[in-house]
């Protein structure tokens, strides 16, 4: 299995912090956001993959990768975009990463603005036993869930519905931008985009994908670790405050 880390967004909500630094390289509790990602990849033996960047910060990601001490070899791929208006979108960048990285095997997709301290062992165990798997987390608040992708799972854990940022979610369990996919999903990424669906968010792809092929949810229990989405100044400050205390 190889990984695809998506880091090509321009993080306009975090400006001015992200005018000169990619949000994935901002420090949380003294460490770059990406360090939290690759630490967990290394822990489960995923040693190769690609990181998709925009053109503005591609060299910064190369410098970070060159200085990383984690045993994960990442090919930094520049998608050529230079502004939020010209971005490919997360699904567009996923296709770009799969094609340019020539990834033919099973793959783990991670949105690069995730900061998490839980291990990925259980996720991969679910993937090996059941197939395509999305990682779920209980954010504890309907208001917070309304900002994210909200899945509906049947009693077996299979995803039977998915809504992106629903106004009145009936659950506090959300999808957190970590996905384990069979190799066959690469062709479905191509088909999704060819059909004209939105390239913007990976959650929108999940909402389509579960109707094409089985997808299962893997819930991270509260005791397994912390998760933060570094998408706003408030969330960034919260992650710094909590993780600095650990």
Q: pLDDT tens-digit profile of 199-211?
A: 999 999 999 999 9
Indicate whether 120 pLDDT > 90. Answer: yes
Q: Which CATH number fits domain 2-244: 3.90.550.10, 3.40.50.2000, 3.30.2130.10, 3.40.50.2300?
A: 3.90.550.10
Indicate whether 10 pLDDT > 80. Answer: yes
Q: What is the mean pLDDT of residues 20-48?
A: 95
The label of the residue with tokens 């954010």 reads 139
Contact between 216 and 131 under an 8 Å Cβ cutoff? The reply is yes
pLDDT at site 39:
96
pLDDT at site 245:
87
Contact between 69 and 31 under an 8 Å Cβ cutoff? The reply is no
pLDDT band at 124, cuts 50/70/90? Answer: very high
Indicate whether 47 pLDDT > 90. Answer: yes
pLDDT at site 223:
86
What mean pLDDT is reported for the chain?
95
pLDDT at site 12:
86
Q: pLDDT tens-digit profile of 202-243?
A: 999 999 999 999 999 999 987 899 999 898 899 999 999 999
The b-or-e profile of 40-61 (16+ CB within 10 A means b, else e) is bbeebebebbbbbbbebbbebb
Q: pLDDT tens-digit profile of 163-196?
A: 999 999 999 999 999 999 999 999 999 999 999 9
Q: What is the mean pLDDT of residues 140-163?
A: 95
Indicate whether 246 pLDDT > 80. Answer: no
131 φ/ψ angles, rounded to the nearest 5 degrees: 110, -150
Indicate whether 149 pLDDT > 90. Answer: yes
Indicate whether 159 pLDDT > 80. Answer: yes
Least Cα distance to 243 among 4, 33, 15, 80 occurs for: 33
Q: What is the mean pLDDT of residues 21-42?
A: 95
pLDDT at site 13:
87
Rounded percentage of the chain residues whose pLDDT exceeds 90:
93
């Amino acid at each position: 299995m190889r990984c695809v880390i998506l880091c090509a967004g321009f993080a306009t909500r975090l400006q001015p912090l992200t005018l000169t630094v990619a949000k994935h390289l901002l420090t949380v509790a003294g460490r770059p956001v990406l360090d939290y990602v690759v630490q967990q990849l290394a822990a489960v033996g995923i040693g190769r993959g690609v990181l998709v960047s925009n053109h503005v910060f591609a060299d910064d990601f190369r410098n970070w990768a060159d200085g990383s001490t984690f045993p994960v070899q990442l090919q930094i791929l520049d998608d050529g975009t230079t502004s939020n208006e010209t971005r490919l979108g997360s699904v567009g960048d996923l296709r770009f990463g799969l094609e340019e990285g020539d990834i033919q095997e099973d793959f783990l997709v991670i949105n690069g603005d995730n900061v998490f301290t839980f291990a990925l062992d259980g996720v991969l165990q679910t993937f090996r036993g059941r197939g395509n798997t999305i990682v779920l987390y209980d954010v504890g608040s309907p208001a917070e869930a309304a900002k994210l992708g909200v899945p509906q799972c049947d009693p077996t854990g299979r995803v039977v519905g998915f809504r992106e940022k629903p106004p009145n979610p009936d659950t506090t369990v959300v999808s957190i931008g970590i996905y384990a996919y069979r190799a066959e999903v690469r062709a479905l990424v191509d088909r999704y985009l060819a059909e004209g669906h939105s390239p913007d968010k990976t959650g929108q792809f999940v909402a389509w994908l579960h109707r094409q092929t089985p997808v299962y949810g893997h819930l991270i229990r509260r005791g397994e670790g912390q998760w933060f989405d570094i998408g706003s100044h408030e969330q960034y400050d919260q992650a710094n405050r909590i993780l600095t205390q650990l």
